[in-house]
Amino acid sequence: MIDFSFQNPTRIHFGRNALEQLPKEVERYGKRVLLVYGGGSIKRTGVYDAVMQKLGNVNAQVWELAGVQPNPRLSPVREGIEVCRREQIQLVLAVGGGSAIDTAKAIVNGACYEGDVWELYEGKGTNETALPLGVVLTIPAAGSEMSRSSVITREEDLCKRGRNAFTNFPTFSILNPEYSFTLPPYQTACGIVDIMAHMMERYFTMVENVELTDRLIEGALVTVINNAPIVMAKPDDYDARAEITWAGALAHNTLLDTGRVGDWASHKLEHELSALYDIAHGAGLAVMFPAWMKYVLPRGGARKLAQFARRVFAVGEAFATDEEAANEGILRLEAFYRSLGLPTTLGEMGIDGSRIPEMAARAVAMMGGRLGGFVPLDAPMAEEVYRLAL
């Protein structure tokens, strides 16, 4: 285990009645509220009306920034910062999934930073404070509701940048698993893959003696795998949705990082994919993670992959060597993704190999020439991972 510091200040309100806590939270921070959300889904499902009613109960004054897209873009962020400054916003409230939340995170930080907000994502500037940020989560997937991460794409060059910062932790997050009942199956499936990827990126580490966090991650993965078929078959199963919702928040809240260094190569490789082809992050991960596993298996990854296979997918003694167990684990992970209705190859998503060198070069360059902590990849190696995904 390596030395670490850990703190996660986000206040979670979880359950069927979680939204009841919103008025008290608004009164705590201020009634000039900027609402950030995506398309019309929160209006169709009634979440928008429910939130507006709670805001109305405390006579909040509400500004709206609507139309946030998946793989959220920089220009709405700039627009939101402008509103915050002009209207002296006291609380930014994101209603939605990772895109709305990541946009809102960029806004609350950018509003307290004198320079251009993109500098924060380029690591060229930093801010000490941020505006209070509330979340009403509708899509368990990105884990942004309890994380210090935010990912934004700059439109002009499709440059996708993540930023980790303490000021990115939401002040409070409202998690009602019922809000995910109406998600289309594809989106539910993509969310499940994203949640599992957040756990697995942390799981695959070369740091030794991390039994506690290994076992916590394994338990969380098994829980998601057990509850996934339930929510796919019965979208309004509260209990299964609740397991996946809470797992999704814990997956990315930095607790499972403690004492270890994650890998994150699969995420970076996928970021390039979704930046260029605008595919869903979860679908891209269902393709890239198994490909990455196949690549690292014979390059020092067998032991940990075998532990993953045995403890998470209950791969038994019939697969005696680490290599055999690891291979079987990858097959079962792919089969699990396919059972959710997701592709596990680039070809199935209509993506050919023509832009692989470009994506590999960009992914590696962004990380300073070395991608991932488990088996570090240079650009030619990253290309091979993409090819394994074809």
**Residues at the contact surface with a second copy, assessed by CB under 8 A:** 1-18, 21, 208-209, 211-212, 215-216, 218-220, 222-223, 226-227, 239, 242-243, 246-247, 250, 255, 258-259
Measured from the CB of residue 228, what is the shortest distance to a second copy in angstroms?
12
Please identify, using beta-carbon distances, which residue of 84 and 175 lies nearer to a second copy.
175
CB-nearer residue toward a second copy: 82 or 257? 257
49 CB burial (10 A radius; 0-12, 13-18, 19+)? exposed
As a whole number of angstroms, the distance between CA 310 and CA 317 comes to: 9
Cβ contacts of 38 within 8 Å, gap of 6 or more = 66, 67, 68, 69, 70, 96, 97, 99, 100
Query: How many CB atoms within 10 Å of residue 387?
Result: 14
| Min CB(176)–a second copy separation in Å | 9
255-to-79, 87, 111 alpha-carbon distances in Å: 33, 36, 28
Token digits of residue 214: 């290994």
90/258 with CB nearer a second copy: 258
CB of 233 to a second copy, least distance (A): 16
DSSP structure string for 124-136: S---S----EEEE
Which lies closer to a second copy via its Cβ, residue 125 or residue 259? Answer: 259
Strand partners, 65: 36
CA distance 18 to 48: 15
Given the DSSP bridges, would you call strands 133-137 and 32-37 parallel, antiparallel or unpaired? unpaired
Quote the least distance from Cβ 134 to a second copy, whole Å.
Answer: 13
Q: In the bound complex, what is the minimum distance in angstroms from residue 14's beta carbon to a second copy?
A: 5
- CB nearer to a second copy: pick between 196 and 349: 196
- Minimum CB distance to a second copy, residue 12 (Å): 4
Q: Are strands 159-164 and 149-154 parallel, antiparallel or unpaired?
A: antiparallel
Residue whose CB is less far from a second copy, 6 or 316:
6
Nearer to a second copy, 117 or 250 (CB): 250
Contacts of 167 (CB under 8 A, 6+ apart): 108, 109, 112, 127, 128, 129, 130
Chain centroid, CA 317 distance in Å: 34
Sorted by sequence, the CB contacts under 8 Å of residue 198 that are 6+ apart come out as: 143, 251, 252
The position carrying tokens 């939605």 is: 96
Six-digit token pair at 267? 């995420």
Least separation in angstroms between residue 140's CB and a second copy is 12
CB of 240 to a second copy, least distance (A): 8
Nearer to a second copy, 127 or 171 (CB): 171
